[in-house]
Structure 1
Amino acid sequence: MVNNRSAVVAAPVAGVLLGVLDFVWIKYVPSPFADLGNSIAVWAVAAFLLTFRFRWSLPVGVVGAIVCLVVAVPFYYLAATVIQNDDLSNAYNSTALMWMGLGVVAGAVFGAAGVLARTPGRLQTAALAMPGAVMFAEAVIQLRRIGNPSYDDSGQVQSSLVLIALGLLVIWLAGRSWPQRGLALLIAVPFTAIGWVLLSFTGFR
C-alpha cells in the first residue's frame, strides 16, 4: 500500500542522518571501510534503499530521494564544522552546490530504481540491478587506479573488494528469488559499463 505522507518526514530525516553519519564514518572508521564515506555509489544506493524501503509512489519516491541526497550534503559539512572546526562556508560553497547537483541526478535515477525494484513488472529486475551496478562501476574505477603513483595499490584493491561485496549484498537482500537475483547480476554487467562511463564523465576517476 502506498504511503506518500511518510516522505515528508522520512526523506529529510534520512538526509540529515546520511550526511552526519557519513562524516562520522569517514572520521572514525578505519580503512578500507572508511573509504565508503567518500563513495558516490554508497550515496546512490542510500537513495535506492530509501525508496525501496518506503512504499511511496514513483513521483514521490523520486522527490524524496532527491531531498534526502541534497539535504545530506550541507549536513555532512555541518558535521565537519562541529567535529573538527571546518569552515562553515563549506556547507554552501561551490563544491557543496556541485554535490547537491549530483544529488539531484542520483536521487532521481536511484530513487526511481528503488520504487521500480519493489513494483512487479518488466522493469523490476533491471531496477534491482542498478545499486549493484553502481557499486561495481566505482570498484572498476578504483581497480584502474592500480599502478598510479597517486594512489596506494593495496588500498584501492581493498576498497574495490568492499564495494563489490556490498553490491552483491544489496542485490541479494532486495531480490525475491535466486533466479531474479541471478538475472539482476547479468543485467548489472552492461549497467556497470554504463555507470563507469558516466562516473568518469563527471570527473570521478
Structure 2
Amino acid sequence: MTTVDREVQRRHRVLTVVAGGVLLGVVDLLLQLGLPYPWANLANSSAVWAVGAFAIGWWLRADWRRSAFAGIVLLVVAVEAYYVAAVVLLDDSAQNLWSPTTLMWLFFGVLAGALFGVAGGLSRYGQPWVRAIAVAMPGAVLLAEAAMLFHRSAQPGHDSHYRTDSLQTAVIEVVLGAALILVVGRTNRVRLQALAAATALAVLGFAAYTIAGFGS
C-alpha cells in the first residue's frame, strides 16, 4: 500500500467515525421520540452509547491511541449532533449546544469514548487476559446500567409506570450484555472469561454510575 493509499484510507476512516457520531446522535433522538417504552429508554441509554464507542474501536483495528481518539470523536460528535437535531426538530434553544448539561455529557463522552474505544481495539488483539477483559466491557456497562435501573426503580417517589419501564429496560440490557459477549468473543474460553470479568466490572460500573449521580 502506497503513502497516498494510506492517506486516503485514513481520511475515509475519519469521515466514517464523524458520520457515525452524527448518525448516533440524530437517530438516538428520533428513536426516543418514536419508540414506545421501554425501548425509548434503551435508545437514550448512556451504556448503548458506550457500546457504540466500543464498536468503532473494534471496527477500526488500530492501536490503542487511534482507537481511543476514534471513540472520543464518535461520542463528542454524537452529543452535539443530538442537540442540533433537537434544535431543528423540536425547536429547542441553540444555547443547549454549550449548556452546562451538554458540557457534562461531552466530558463523559471523552471518558467513555477513550475507555471503550480502546477496549474495542483490544478485543481483537493483545494478551489473552487483556482480550477477555476488553470483550467483557460492552456487556459490563450494560449490566451496570441495568443494576442502576433496578436500584433506581426500587426507590420511593416513582410511579408504577416508571418502575415497570425501568425494570423492563434493565432486563433487555442484561440480555443484550450477555449476547454481546457471546458475539464478540471468538472462542468459548474467551467468552467464559469475559462473562466472569463482566460481572466484576459491572460492580465497578454501578459504583461509577452512583458516584456520577445517575442512581437517584
Q: TM-score, normalised by structure 2?
A: 0.90
Identity over aligned residues, as a percent? 37
SS at match of 2:186: coil
SS at match of 1:176: coil
Change (3 A) 1:200 1:136: same
Aligned partner letter, 1:160: A
Paired residue for 2:53? 47
In the TM superposition, residue 17 of structure 1 has moved relative to its aligned partner by 0.6
Pair 1:143-2:153 in alignment: no
The one of 40, 47, 66 equivalent to 1:60 is 66
Deviates more, 1:87-96 or 1:142-151: 142-151
In the TM superposition, residue 4 of structure 1 has moved relative to its aligned partner by 4.8
Q: TM-score, normalised by structure 1?
A: 0.94
Q: Residues 129-159 of structure 1: CA distance to partner in whole angstroms, max 9, x if unpaired?
A: 0110010000001111233222522112101
Between Structure 1 and Structure 2, whose CA radius of gyration is higher?
A: 2
Provide the rounded CA distance (Å) in 1 between the counterparts of 2:54 and 2:25: 16
Change (3 A) 1:6 1:118: farther
Paired residue for 1:89? 95
In the TM superposition, residue 53 of structure 1 has moved relative to its aligned partner by 1.6
Q: Residues 1-30 of structure 1: CA distance to partner in whole angstroms, max 9, x if unpaired?
A: x96554321221111111101101111011
Paired residue for 1:204? 214
Paired residue for 1:119? 125
Deviates more, 1:141-150 or 1:67-76: 141-150
Provide the rounded CA distance (Å) in 2 between the counterparts of 1:47 and 1:109: 8
SS at match of 2:153: coil
Paired residue for 1:167? 177
> How large is the Cα RMSD of the aligned pairs?
1.7
SS at match of 1:31: coil
Consecutive unaligned residues of structure 2, counting only runs of 5 or more, are: 1-5
In the TM superposition, residue 58 of structure 1 has moved relative to its aligned partner by 1.4
Change (3 A) 1:104 1:153: same
Matched residue count: 205
